[in-house]
Amino acid sequence: MADMAALSAFLQVVFQNVAKLIIEMGLNLNDNLQSELGDLKKNVAMISASLNDAEKINPSQPLKLWLDELRDIGYDAIDLLDEHCAELRRRNLVYSPELRHKLSNINPKRVYYRHEMSDKIKKISLKMNVIFQRRINFGLNVNECPSERNRHEITTSLPPTRIVGRETEKREILNNLIPNGDMQVGEPKLSIFAIHGMGRIGKTTLAQLIYNDERTFMYFEMRLWVHVSYEFDLEKVTRSILESMDEPQSAGINLDTLQKRIQKKLKGKRYLLVLDDFWNEKPHEWEKLIRPLHKGAPGSVIIVTTRIKLVADMTWTNNATCIK
């Protein structure tokens, strides 16, 4: 379906220009649009990946409607860029270059224009996010599936030998998941944290840093690492959790027995479990997966890393961290 490839290219070019507009106007400095810019780039990348996968299926009516919505949001972005170009032409005719520079931040009309553009960009970003999530309501099987090259890259708990950055995020998450004092009455028995963001930006590395931190060693009696991947299989992931507890002889055991063994292993122990690269968006399968994980001692923690905000929203109970 060449139409989808063209739409993907169209959206990327348009929103690259919107991103340049945000930086050019300095909107991210005065109107706190840095987060909006990150979300905009992320959603464009995810939708482009979705369109690449959608090329493999026959276009249904819901899919056609979804594509129309994507085109509309692209046209909204073009209108915004056209409006900005018109404003630049107007200012070039009215003011000299020296005067334009002096008035850029003090002219009330200019300040109002910046706020107006900020609001319009935020609305476009919100629409883009809503449209991306709506593919699920339409029953569109066009998830941001990783490429064949990346799909089977299995991760482990061992961090890279050289790491730059992520210390701030690591410290913030550790401060949240490990209390300074003893557990207080009423604190959750099991806390779930989500780390989400685009691929290749360090979600797994951040989880590895937390997993191998000295405070983690001291606080948790048991540490478990499971790579989930795109192809979610409830029994396979459950078996991987059990095997990470030094229970390698689990082949051929059914799901019920696997979960009972996990409950027995976790009972009375405070544990940390990292579920890395989680893609499944189905709440009922998530609930089945974590059912035996509530048997740990108070203070137990699950960390989920995911590229999908919907998964982060579905899984976390205490905190969700978006990294860029």
Residues 88, 84: Cα–Cα separation, whole Å: 6
Residue 187 vs residue 180, higher pLDDT: 180
Q: What is the residue-wise DSSP string for 202-241? A: SHHHHHHHHHTSHHHHHH-SEEEEEEEESS--HHHHHHHH
**Using one digit for the tens of pLDDT, what is the confidence trace for 246-296?**
877 777 789 999 999 999 999 999 999 999 999 888 888 999 999 999 999
61, 199: one domain: no
Dihedral sign computed on CA atoms, order 66, 68, 71, 73 = negative
Strand bridging mode 300-306 / 271-278: parallel
**Using one digit for the tens of pLDDT, what is the confidence trace for 140-155?**
544 444 544 445 578 8
Question: How many structural domains is the chain composed of?
Answer: 2
Cβ proximity of 147 and 45 under 8 Å:
no
159, 304: one domain: yes
Residues 134, 114: Cα–Cα separation, whole Å: 30
152, 276: one domain: yes
**Using one digit for the tens of pLDDT, what is the confidence trace for 9-54?**
677 777 777 777 766 665 544 444 555 555 666 666 666 666 655 5
Residue 313: domain span: 148-322
Q: HSE on the CB side for 262, CA within 13 Å?
A: 28
156, 125: one domain: no
Q: At what angle do helices 61-94 and 108-137 cross, to 10 degrees?
A: 170
Give the pLDDT of residue 32: 47
253, 158: one domain: yes
Cβ proximity of 303 and 272 under 8 Å:
yes
Give the pLDDT of residue 142: 46
